[in-house]
Amino acid sequence: MSVTSMMLSSSSPLIQSLCIRIIQPTNLIKKMQCAGYPEDKLCSLADRLPCRETQVTTLLSLMGEPDQYSYPSIFIYGHRATGKSHVVLSIMKELELPHTFVDCVECVSPALLFHRVLLAFFGPDAAASLPRCPSLSDFVRLYKQMSSKTPATQTRYLILDRAERTRDMDFSLLPALLRLQELVRDNVTVILLSQVVWEKFRPNTGCFEPLLFHFPDYNKAELVQILSRDHHPAYTPELYASYINILLGVFFSVCRDLRELRHLAALNFPKFCEPLEKGEAKESDIHKLWRNIEPHLQRAMQTVYLREVSSMQWKEQQMDEKETTTPRGLSAHAHIELPYYSKFLLIAAYLASFNPARTDRRFFLKSHGKIKKTNFLKKHEKTSNHLLGPKPFPLDRLLAIFYSVVDSRVAPTASIFSQIMSLVSLQLLTQIGHDDQLDAPKYKCAVSMDFILAISRTVIFDVVKYLYDFL
Ligand SMILES: Nc1ncnc2c1ncn2[C@@H]1O[C@H](COP(=O)(O)OP(=O)(O)OP(=O)(O)O)[C@@H](O)[C@H]1O
Ligand SMILES: [Mg+2]
């Protein structure tokens, strides 16, 4: 008898002990996995899902044979890109099991979810019979009606991806989905996929407990194995595997996300092959290829991974770099990391330097009253302030703009003043005309537009909106 054919609560000790056994597959379970499923399809599944053999075996044993009743609900959780959706969908598609895959992000209301389920399982007529604002009981009633006409010959699977979204819907929805099988008296299993652990799902009022199944993170060797499969047809698989090894050597400590790593691998591969194409190295000169690519990857880690520039900009910068050896543009500043308020001080300084003082009221005062448009936009001012260069501004103007742009309330403490001095010593601000102690100091912003754009992006501030030249 299969494990899944037992209709027991997961809280019962028997089920729990079975689960523990399942999650550490034994030979017995390995034999069970084939029951009811064609061998060739299982083989191709194993081939499509490297490093997830254990999870596939376990899931198949939880699911049981297609015509048997399966466990009512299975909750699969794990970090992002651990293959939850990919594994479940591949199993469903490869083994041709009746299923519907619903991304809960797309279902803003339970009505949409009900519609999707009925449409997938019973066709458009069933979905059309739903009332305009269907309640849960409408859905259950219709489902029962339809399934009595067309009873399931195989377990139907309802897969809810990003299932944490169901918590924001009707409070009774999740408990009902967990025991849908019992409510509709049909051979249906709900599989919930989420990055959030079950403890954060469980309603206070209690509910039917699903079977919990964890997808662990891929380790380095597994990532190498998976990523090496994307090898370029023009090069040998061995070369690509050694490239992936180098790539992971740099990125593994900061990024374990398969999706991001795959993207980075594709993005930087042409650079890795450069010496091969130029005929400067052979495929066996791994050390030479490594020396060529390593500094490049280090730089990529500072820019692309932090999303300071897009992949497109990164590629363009690499082209330019062929002419100038020093990194240009945004990546040149990637190593400058400023404190949060210093970034806003610098943004305020930039705005003070490049905006005429008379426009401050318009930009930074919430209730600025009526300012004549003609006064504000002086059309005869043809020259761009950016072409004229930064203008000096007094400290009080800088602080006024700073308090206006920074989101939270900041007290004018000594720390803020010392941060201004630090910006001066970093030569991001220039102090001018402070010979006389009676004279208030004036400053000028000494950074470029690119720099300030990069800085404002890190604090999610749209600086262009506040620049007079770009109005
Ligand atoms: N074992 C694997 N072999 C090949 N590709 C894989 C494997 N695991 C995951 N992938 C690929 O990695 C990407 C992310 O996988 P998937 O979408 O399944 O992750 P997930 O766990 O559902 O992540 P999320 O929680 O963000 O939804 C997909 O493009 C998938 O094809
Ligand atoms: Mg997913």
Nearest-CA residue for atom 31 of ligand 1 = 86
Cα angle 22, 27, 32; round to 5: 65
Distance 208 CA to ligand 1 centre (A): 28
Ligand nearest to the CA of 87: 1
Taking the CA of residue 194 as reference, the ligand 1 atom at the shortest distance is 25
Q: Does the pLDDT at position 21 exceed 70?
A: no
Confidence bin at 81 (pLDDT 50/70/90): very high
Domain boundaries, the chain: 3-214, 232-320, 340-366+384-470
pLDDT, residue 140, reads: 95
Ligand nearest to the CA of 90: 1
Q: Around Cβ 181, how many Cβ atoms within 10 Å?
A: 22
Burial code of 215-233, b = ≥16 C-beta within 10 A, e = fewer? beebeeeebbebbbeebee
Which of 55, 82, 86 should be mutated for ligand 1, with most atoms under 8 A from CB?
86
Confidence bin at 22 (pLDDT 50/70/90): very low
Rounded to an integer, the average pLDDT of 310-320 is 69
pLDDT, residue 374, reads: 54
The per-residue pLDDT of the chain, averaged, comes to: 82
Q: How do residues 116-174 score in pLDDT, each as one tens digit? A: 999 999 999 999 999 989 999 999 999 999 999 998 899 999 999 999 999 888 889 99
pLDDT, residue 345, reads: 92
Distance from chain centroid for Cα 90: 22
Taking the CA of residue 229 as reference, the ligand 1 atom at the shortest distance is 4
Taking the CA of residue 52 as reference, the ligand 1 atom at the shortest distance is 1
CA distances from 54 to 57, 256, 431 (A): 5, 20, 65
Rounded to an integer, the average pLDDT of 261-284 is 87
Radius of gyration of the chain (CA): 30
Q: How do residues 161-204 score in pLDDT, each as one tens digit? A: 999 999 888 889 999 999 999 999 999 999 999 999 999 988 88
Nearest-CA residue for atom 9 of ligand 1 = 83
Q: Please give the class, per CATH, of domain 340-366+384-470.
A: mainly alpha
Q: Does the pLDDT at position 224 exceed 90?
A: yes
Which of 44, 85, 93 should be mutated for ligand 1, with most atoms under 8 A from CB?
85
Q: Does the pLDDT at position 379 exceed 80?
A: no
Q: Does the pLDDT at position 83 exceed 50?
A: yes
pLDDT, residue 296, reads: 82
Distance 139 CA to ligand 2 centre (A): 26
Question: For residue 202, which phi and psi values (nearest 5 degrees)?
Answer: -55, 120
pLDDT, residue 370, reads: 56
Residues in the chain: 471
Q: Please give the class, per CATH, of domain 3-214.
A: alpha beta
Share of the chain above pLDDT 70, in %: 80
Distance 225 CA to ligand 1 centre (A): 14
Taking the CA of residue 87 as reference, the ligand 1 atom at the shortest distance is 18
Which of 79, 258, 260, 262 should be mutated for ligand 1, with most atoms under 8 A from CB?
258
Distance 146 CA to ligand 1 centre (A): 34
Q: Does the pLDDT at position 288 exceed 50?
A: yes
Ligand nearest to the CA of 259: 1
pLDDT, residue 295, reads: 83
pLDDT, residue 306, reads: 54
Q: Does the pLDDT at position 455 exceed 80?
A: yes
Which of 235-239, 256-260, 374-378 comes out lowest in average pLDDT?
A: 374-378
Q: Return the residue matching tokens 């970034």.
A: 343
pLDDT, residue 314, reads: 67
pLDDT, residue 377, reads: 59
Rounded to an integer, the average pLDDT of 73-91 is 95
Distance 56 CA to ligand 2 centre (A): 16
Q: How do residues 293-314 score in pLDDT, each as one tens digit? A: 888 887 777 665 555 566 677 6
Q: Directed axis angle between helix 13-23 and helix 53-63, to 10°?
A: 150
Rounded to an integer, the average pLDDT of 47-66 is 91
Rounded to an integer, the average pLDDT of 393-406 is 89
Cβ atoms of residues 268 and 236 within 8 Å: no
Distance 72 CA to ligand 1 centre (A): 25
Closest CA to 401 of 340, 451, 458, 356: 356
Q: Does the pLDDT at position 353 exceed 90?
A: yes
Confidence bin at 94 (pLDDT 50/70/90): very high
Enumerate residues lining ligand 1, CB below 6 A: 49-52, 78, 80-86, 195, 226, 258-259
Q: Mean pLDDT highest for which of 39-43, 48-52, 367-371?
A: 48-52
Distance 161 CA to ligand 2 centre (A): 6
Distance 103 CA to ligand 1 centre (A): 15
